[in-house]
Structure 1
Amino acid sequence: MDVERVRGGGGPGRWWGHGPPWLRHRPGEEPGGGRWPWRSTLLLTAFVLVGSTFAAHLQQGERADLDAFARVLLIVSCGMLLWRRRHPVAVVFGTAVTVALYLGAGYPYGPVFFTVAVACFAAVVAGHRRAAWTALGLLCAVHLLVAHWLYRWLPPSGDEPASFGQEIVVTGWVVAIVAIAELARTRREQWARERAERAQAARRRADEERLRIARELHDVLAHSLSVINVQAGVGLALLDADPEQARTALTTIKSASKEALGEVRQVLDTLRTPGDVPRAPAPGLDRLPELVEQAARAGLTVQVEGEPPRLSPGTDLAAFRIVQEALTNVVRHSGSRHARVRLEPAGGTLRLRIDDDGPATGAEAGGSGNGLAGMRERAAALGGTIEAGPRPDGGFRVLAVLPAKATAEAAETGEDQ
């Protein structure tokens, strides 16, 4: 049973509703949409009337003369094509029946068949293939009956059966109509699929961009707010006992908040008008001394071993953010006040190892718990890996292995960032 019939769809096309979803109209809208095809219908009507008159002169004595009823049938068959976009099923059957009456009345063969061809084409392109084929098959069956059997009793008198050559021509016309209509339908569905794929790709790129911006904001804010949180606690504890140390803590808070605002502004600059030049370059491992200084203001001593190698922009940014997030986690979740960052370039990769001596404090400091997930996403986007977990001798270790040269797609992502 047809889907449209099960759903109770109205209209003559409900039994033949096999068109693709992108061609189905919405409730309250005109089926088929678009403008009325006045111009093409008027041109075809003129062509059919003039051509049929010319054909009547050529077939005079062989077929019945064009009378008022014949011209009415021609006009009706052409006029129905006005609705071929809105009601393709009704039009293809209507034109087939009208032309069948025209043939049964013995009127001259001629361009009247173009009306069925146009209606069939519109129905197939609209997705109603079964309806188009059925209407065309019915018309062919009527033609065979009239041309080889019923001609004895139908006008004109003395008519003879159709020749084999004439049947070849008719069959060729039918095959050509079906082939052209199917080709047009296939191309239209292909265009629709391509549009849908482009729209889906655009949505995917937008989702990836939102995720990238969210990850950047998380890394920036988590690090800076952790420093601010620690220094605020120090300032409150020493406000009365050691005002000078409390002043230092407040100065650190001011500096950290200023840096955080600058980095947030830099991240949000990615939402600028396309084509604008970035206001500041993306951070990289060349800013490790700044991270060490910020960690020191939060009470964490960081020892850096190794020199940062030349990296692609995407890898450089990812490495910086991984170190930043790892140190942030030490400040927030570890009782250790000492951490080590080791850079090991080897074999086209960069090994980043961040260790602390623990133990874990269990303090969340308002964190969201997305830090490790963000680090893994950054590494995976570049084709790298992240391992994070407790060390056998105590403390915690983050080990990242990143390609020194990112793939073309990852490099492009890094440049965008």
Structure 2
Amino acid sequence: METRSARPGPPWRHWVERTGRGPAWRSALFVAVLAQAGSGWAAQAQTGRVPLDAFARILLLLGPALLVVRHRHPVAVAYGVGAVTLVYVGAGFPAGPVFVSLAVACFAAVTAGHRKAAWGAVGLLWAGHLLIGHWLYRWLPPAGDGPAPWGQELGVTAWVLAMLAVSELVRARREQWSRERAERAAAAGRRADEERLRIARELHDVLAHSISVINVQAGVGLALLDTDPEQARTALTTIKAASKEALGEVRQVLDTLRAPGRAPRAPAPGLDRLPELVEQAAATGLAVATDTVGRARALPPGADLAAFRILQEALTNVVRHSGSRTARIRIGWRPDTLELRVDDDGPATGSPAGGSGNGLAGMRERAAALGGRIEAGQRPDGGFRVRATLPLKPAPYREDP
């Protein structure tokens, strides 16, 4: 079936989406209608003023017309509308909603960040109104007009202050909303970066360990293929099991990536799978001795996974970078910390594991995410040690006899 592309919306819709404001001409048209109609009613009530003529109607249209471009030129529009309003007042026409145009113009200037321009335009009109009402009225229409009452000036001053106060309040709220949007966007970006880092670290740990096992066993199988077929078969069996396990863990990580928030189909690995890790290392020819100090207890899922991955990566580094065929794991349970230590007697072979590789970087990131730390480096006797300290919540503790 042929599909039609969506029709582009009106140009002002993109402006609304970008600025959060509607098209300026709509509000300007509303102000124009209000000024024309309201001034007509005011002319009927204020018989002592100059009747509305063509010039007055043009002034009542000119102010709203300037409002159409108030978002692009807020300063010029504020002063322009102020001048037009002052001319209308000086001409002696009836007072009415002519001041609404100035209110809208100053509101746009304040919310756009041009506070001085808004205050300047309002101050210009206020000072001009005082001069006209108490000095220039002698020479301005209507003829025989007297000075304006001071109570009227107080009302005008109160109206001006209220208009500016509302504008400042709206400006402050918009700035707050803008900061909140920026903070939410930054937080979402940080969460996305952390999630990508977590997935990359998880895939690295899974693949590095499994591929190291597969690489060693493939070498054994090739070496013994002709002389010891049975041992070569064992190596291939180990390769099959390691690759199957790696595929399962990679699939679990990718399923989480495709469907964020969905519970994984299999539990994340933890220290309860340490025997499997030792068995996999033994299949590569690495003898691993384990020692536990203190009373073991259940760990939160995040800490349990981090502890398992740290031990897994440490053993992978022994297989890849050490000439030693033995390693020692020591797990120390303390009241508020879990200490993991992996030692090998060296010497180092292949690329050095001095702490700048991705594996050690991933271990440090896992520990840092839990508030812990990783120490890795050469021992004085020539071997290599990885020591991790992970903080735990305080819990009742009793040292095993």
TM-score exceeds 0.5: yes
Do structure 1's residue 151 and structure 2's residue 109 form an aligned pair? no
Matches of 1:175 and 1:194, distance apart in 2: 28
Matches of 1:368 and 1:240, distance apart in 2: 40
Per-residue Cα deviation, 1:174-226 (whole angstroms, up to 9, x for no partner) = 11111111111111111011011101100000000000011111111111111
Change (3 A) 1:377 1:275: closer
1:98 CA drift (Å): 1.4
Q: Pick the aligned partner of 1:48 from 35, 43, 59.
A: 35
CA RMSD, 1 decimal: 2.6
Matches of 2:69 and 2:114, distance apart in 1: 15
Alignment of 1:11-410 (within 5 A): 35-61=22-48, 63-306=49-292, 308-363=296-351, 369-405=357-393
Report if the CA contact (8 A) 2:82-2:121 is conserved. Answer: yes
Per-residue Cα deviation, 1:230-278 (whole angstroms, up to 9, x for no partner) = 1222222223333332222222222211111111112222213244331
Report if the CA contact (8 A) 1:308-1:343 is conserved. Answer: no
Per-residue Cα deviation, 1:310-348 (whole angstroms, up to 9, x for no partner) = 111111000000100110011111111111111111112
**Structure 1 residue ranges without an equivalent (≥5):** 1-24, 407-417
1:288 CA drift (Å): 0.5
Matches of 2:349 and 2:277, distance apart in 1: 22
1:127 CA drift (Å): 2.3
The normalised TM-score by structure 2 is 0.87
Change (3 A) 1:115 1:369: same
SS in 2 for 1:311: coil
Report if the CA contact (8 A) 1:376-1:386 is conserved. Answer: yes
1:34 CA drift (Å): 5.6
**Structure 2 residue ranges without an equivalent (≥5):** 1-11, 395-401
Report if the CA contact (8 A) 1:33-1:86 is conserved. Answer: no
Change (3 A) 1:274 1:386: closer
Report if the CA contact (8 A) 1:224-1:260 is conserved. Answer: yes
SS in 1 for 2:119: helix
Matches of 1:153 and 1:133, distance apart in 2: 28
1:130 CA drift (Å): 2.8
1:99 CA drift (Å): 0.9
Q: How many residues align?
A: 378
Counterpart of 1:285, as a letter, is L
Report if the CA contact (8 A) 2:134-2:148 is conserved. Answer: yes
Matches of 2:18 and 2:214, distance apart in 1: 62
Matches of 1:30 and 1:313, distance apart in 2: 43
Query: Which structure would you say has the larger RCO, counting Cα contacts within 8 Å and 6 or more residues apart?
Result: 1
Partner of 2:397: none
The normalised TM-score by structure 1 is 0.84
SS in 2 for 1:83: coil
